[in-house]
Amino acid sequence: MAQAEQITETEASSRKSKPLNHSIAATTEFLRLLFGQLQSGLGAVIVLLFLLLAVLGPIIAPYAANDQSALPLLAPGAGHPFGTDALGRDVFSRVMLGTQSIFVTAGTGTLIAVVLGAAVGLFIGYQGGLLDEVISRAIDAFLALPALLIALVVLGVVKNLDFVAGSWQALLADSSVLLVIALVYVPIVARVIRSSTLEVKTREFVQAAQIRGESRVYIIFREILPSVVPALVVEASLRFSYAIFLVASLGFLGAGARPPSPDWGLMVNENRRIYQVAPWALAYPAAAIALLVVGVNLTSDGIKRIVQKRG
């Protein structure tokens, strides 16, 4: 009897470990394919290096972001590898510390956009009918507007909400860039996931769930969602690269991070006036923006190829 119970427990434990082992194997295979391609592997390495800087930057940066550590407009050298800006702040430290800001802002905004956009796309794609038509046409009209224009309008509105209490207004101002990223990219994600949902909902396993009488929520999240996850992952990586550029653009235009934040776009704006005297103060943050966007794009292209290959 005891032996039978032990066998039963072993079988139960084996069943529980199978999904975990499958997930580990699938992740390992995915990483092997990603790093096995030259372009996507290079892009992933670039993104990982920047991510490492975002995590370790506050610990290993030689100076604080706003320390006047040396003479102004000091050329790159041993003590200051990226030189100093017009206020004598170490450009290397500011670029390093700005990595965390760009990852947190762009990453969080992208996550919000992907979650909300996926929910909207799954619902209208499965629901169909008049609601789907109305929301889809509204999304098309919204996407006809330039993303940067929408961002500037929303930020302008948020900053002029006089009827909002002071503490809430400050909170809105601090999270306004996140709201902008979500607002700009939710419709795009929703349209992509809607398209995938329209294709998946005609498959036999979805129809079988409908015949069994499963609820709409069950069918959407248990039957359809796993099938659209690959498209969602590709779209998330692509939106992240756009979000990085949008955050940097808003910082450059003075509509995002506020001085003296070590925001890369803000640094480019602050140092463009002294470009002829100290080109390094502008070149390094601009190069960081370009390199990270290229890295994310290469990684996104690699993910897309893997998803298409695996069907």
Give me the residue spans of the domains in the chain. Answer: 1-36, 37-310
pLDDT digits (tens, 9 = 90+) for 39-85: 999 999 999 999 999 999 999 999 999 999 899 999 999 889 999 99
pTM here is 0.88
Q: Tell me the percentage of the chain whose pLDDT exceeds 90.
A: 71
The per-residue pLDDT for 156 is 82
* CB atoms inside a 10 Å sphere around CB 243: 29
Residue 170 has pLDDT above 80, yes or no: no
The per-residue pLDDT for 19 is 63
pLDDT digits (tens, 9 = 90+) for 284-305: 999 999 999 999 999 999 999 9
Residue 7 has pLDDT above 70, yes or no: no
Q: Which residue has the higher pLDDT, 107 or 258?
A: 107
Distance (Å, rounded) from C-alpha 186 to C-alpha 148?
15
Can you tell me the mean pLDDT for 121-137? 94
Q: Which two tokens stand for residue 126?
A: 């499965």
Residue 282 has pLDDT above 80, yes or no: yes
CATH class of 37-310: mainly alpha
Q: Which two tokens stand for residue 26?
A: 């699938």
